Structure 1
């Protein structure tokens, strides 16, 4: 099995792609992709593709990759003004939405030979800062994922994570590469239609971000139609400890494997995974490197951290590492060789060889002269409150956001832990914690 998912030869003849009332097999998909190839320019150009969970998106995405065009994926939730600014900023040649091809700029781009895909790391904010990826990146990561996840050609997967998001996109890649069955839809697990389709198509896996599993636990795992599910997988942030424990109990009792995964868009999608056999006993760990990747911890001086349980920045080496960022037209003309990706995540390695993220290098503040790791603080408060909180800090205060009131006793304990006066701690109750389209917390919105 290769990682060139855009090549559909020798795929499972019995597998199907489903979208609403449409159903096609891989032979028909191949025919439609070839038809789309013929509708695209022969000369390499920059194509913006609105990433919707539809057959049209899959067809044009594969066609553009085959033709070696550079694809800029546009979040379907991006506001029209932000979309137009992004298209103008990069002088995009074509915009494809659904099955409609719109000619935009006639600008002649100087595009790096390796460049094939541009992804945003900022959800639906419309930032012009994009991650540059090559076909070699996509192939390497797709192949690695299919080596450690138990995906088989008879599997049925159902989309709901945004396909403009590297995690959601990687699910599409891996199942296309395997020639598995794919149900294309965008309803969330909060929707009755989602579960109707999930049961109807006998879906065999569930992929989600931490928020997805929070919702499952609230709905009640035992009530959900998960009888055909062989395994579950999670990426996109850290699972709360209570959600981890509930999922551990459920998957153990129902003979379901659970894979915790860690990644960044800059590493195409996936960097590390926790093998299913460790799920119930290594709470909070991201596990070990995926096949073909090397992990190491570096201290503040850039030296390797060799001692177990000592903190360092997690760094990654592998064929999945991106070719740098683009914020301007000029930066589309070159593709950097980045031998080591500095993730910005602070981690430790246990004596078992497994890694655990303990914070972000940029999520550090000082309160009353003391250095505070906001992620560690947030995890501590999550466990104490038994609901999700978000911590933001500055030089003079800690702000704790939540969707439920935090008891005064908890604030007192927090002040004691931080060795500061409680007046330096502000709590704000929100109707809903703001999130990006990839379900991660929108810290920019919080600060506004």
Structure 2
């Protein structure tokens, strides 16, 4: 498609329709006996609340509680195409829906295929720069509402499609809900390429998921980084579709120990592996690795996609030379309009953001390939000691051989281990961890929990974890 090549032309209303003039995309609900064209989805019924919402246009604000089913995905596409402002929320997150109603003044909630009116028309229209709102927890776990224009999310998806080489004979899968920026990008990139999208609502941990994508001939699979162990297992056991062309990872860092095997196993089945780097605030994809260079340059997330510039700066904001570590910044037409902290913010035009500070630290070489080393804001002071939370997680995972998360207070580091085993304060691993971190053992509190709370993107929900560890402590190192 011409719109996938070069810089996309950006519009607001009729965005998807204008990008896919022949409506070549198809959407398949594997449990049904037919496929829907993009035209079918965009020209759905106008009766009832659909009529009212489409009529209100920018004076509406719809909370779209979106999962991975055809009904939920089609609602997102239809609202986006009709230029109706929406806030995308995970279908399982009722608490967040209520927060959006209170914070941003939503007029409707769309869930389970139907609208529920919450308020009348908004007094002021939502600005075209803030048509799509995506909640993000960031590294702290505290919700922020990222405002994006339809143009930015569509332009970013077009660049992703071009970078990956998506074609109209590709078949993607809704492994993630479009309520997450990675899931939304996955759906839109395939749609803009005229590809087919399988709307599969089964868990990727279930046999039915793998049977379905094999039967339907999936070619593109997008996974959260936390799913890497499961993907390795699926590759080893020949569970992948024979039609597979590419596997993508985003939503955090893939476990470094798994990367070589992922590349070997993916190449063995004749597919390519792409590690993506992104951030909701960046619209959301920033860079994508090339399978040709990654095996020679382990750990790189690749170069910026079309339209994206990246740089690394020091603490004073001066640009670093190639190879030197610092804070990663991004400039592109896709970055957010700003955060929306109250209902009135939605009427404001985009903030002036020349370079977006991602909050990540890393380096890039002379060709623009980037390596991410962690969050710049993961450094904490605990009782005078400088703590790197990433180092805490990695060292704890190595010592205890399980997934780990870390929380800090003024005088304590709480290490949360994903295990059903009991770990007493006198076990030698606790002393080993303290030595590895160069911390006094009394500053470390160990909590074991059968399963770390995670969102659908695979990231640990730190707010839920903090709440749970207050009442789910099994064994701890003695506190001060």
| Same-fold status (TM-score > 0.5) | yes
Give the match for residue 115 of structure 1. Answer: 130
C-alpha spacing 1:10/1:435, structure 2 compared with 1 (3 Å): same
C-alpha spacing 1:112/1:384, structure 2 compared with 1 (3 Å): same
Gaps of 5+ in 2: 9-14, 468-480
User: Does the alignment pair 1:330 with 2:344?
Assistant: yes
Deviation at 1:244, TM superposition (A): 1.5
Spell out the pairing of 1:278-357 with structure 2 (5 A cutoff): 278-308=293-323, 310-335=324-349, 336-350=351-365, 353-357=368-372
Give the match for residue 440 of structure 2. Answer: 421
Distance 2:93 2:383 in 1: 40
Deviation at 1:16, TM superposition (A): 4.8
Give the match for residue 175 of structure 2. Answer: 160
- Is the contact between residue 233 and residue 261 of structure 1 (CA under 8 Å) also seen in structure 2? yes
Give the match for residue 39 of structure 2. Answer: 30
Distance 1:16 1:328 in 2: 35
Normalised by the size of structure 2, how large is the TM-score? 0.84
- Is the contact between residue 107 and residue 118 of structure 2 (CA under 8 Å) also seen in structure 1? yes
Distance 1:445 1:103 in 2: 29
C-alpha spacing 1:446/1:60, structure 2 compared with 1 (3 Å): closer
User: For 2:209, what is the secondary structure of its paired residue?
Assistant: helix
Give the match for residue 42 of structure 1. Answer: 55
Deviation at 1:190, TM superposition (A): 1.0
C-alpha spacing 1:82/1:117, structure 2 compared with 1 (3 Å): closer
Give the match for residue 106 of structure 1. Answer: 120
Deviation at 1:95, TM superposition (A): 2.5
Spell out the pairing of 1:344-423 with structure 2 (5 A cutoff): 344-350=359-365, 353-367=368-382, 369-383=384-398, 386-404=401-419, 408-423=427-442
Distance 2:414 2:442 in 1: 11
Distance 2:70 2:190 in 1: 14
Deviation at 1:69, TM superposition (A): 1.5
Bigger Cα displacement from structure 2, 346-355 vs 378-387: 378-387
Distance 2:115 2:16 in 1: 23
User: For 1:189, what is the secondary structure of its paired residue?
Assistant: coil
Alpha-carbon displacement from aligned partner over 1:278-300 (angstroms, at most 9, x marks no partner) = 33333332222111111111221
Give the match for residue 12 of structure 2. Answer: none
Deviation at 1:128, TM superposition (A): 6.5
Deviation at 1:155, TM superposition (A): 1.0
Bigger Cα displacement from structure 2, 99-108 vs 436-445: 99-108
User: Does the alignment pair 1:446 with 2:465?
Assistant: yes
Distance 2:363 2:150 in 1: 32
- Is the contact between residue 368 and residue 420 of structure 1 (CA under 8 Å) also seen in structure 2? no
Distance 2:447 2:162 in 1: 44
Alpha-carbon displacement from aligned partner over 1:331-389 (angstroms, at most 9, x marks no partner) = 11113232211111111224564211112122112356442322134334445555322
Bigger Cα displacement from structure 2, 93-102 vs 183-192: 93-102
Deviation at 1:425, TM superposition (A): 2.6
Bigger Cα displacement from structure 2, 51-60 vs 241-250: 51-60
Deviation at 1:6, TM superposition (A): 4.4
Partner residue of 1:96 out of 68, 92, 110: 110
- Is the contact between residue 47 and residue 96 of structure 1 (CA under 8 Å) also seen in structure 2? yes
User: Does the alignment pair 1:432 with 2:432?
Assistant: no
User: Does the alignment pair 1:224 with 2:239?
Assistant: yes
Count of aligned positions:
442
Distance 1:189 1:65 in 2: 27
User: For 1:187, what is the secondary structure of its paired residue?
Assistant: coil
User: For 2:64, what is the secondary structure of its paired residue?
Assistant: strand
C-alpha spacing 1:287/1:52, structure 2 compared with 1 (3 Å): same
- Is the contact between residue 36 and residue 63 of structure 1 (CA under 8 Å) also seen in structure 2? no
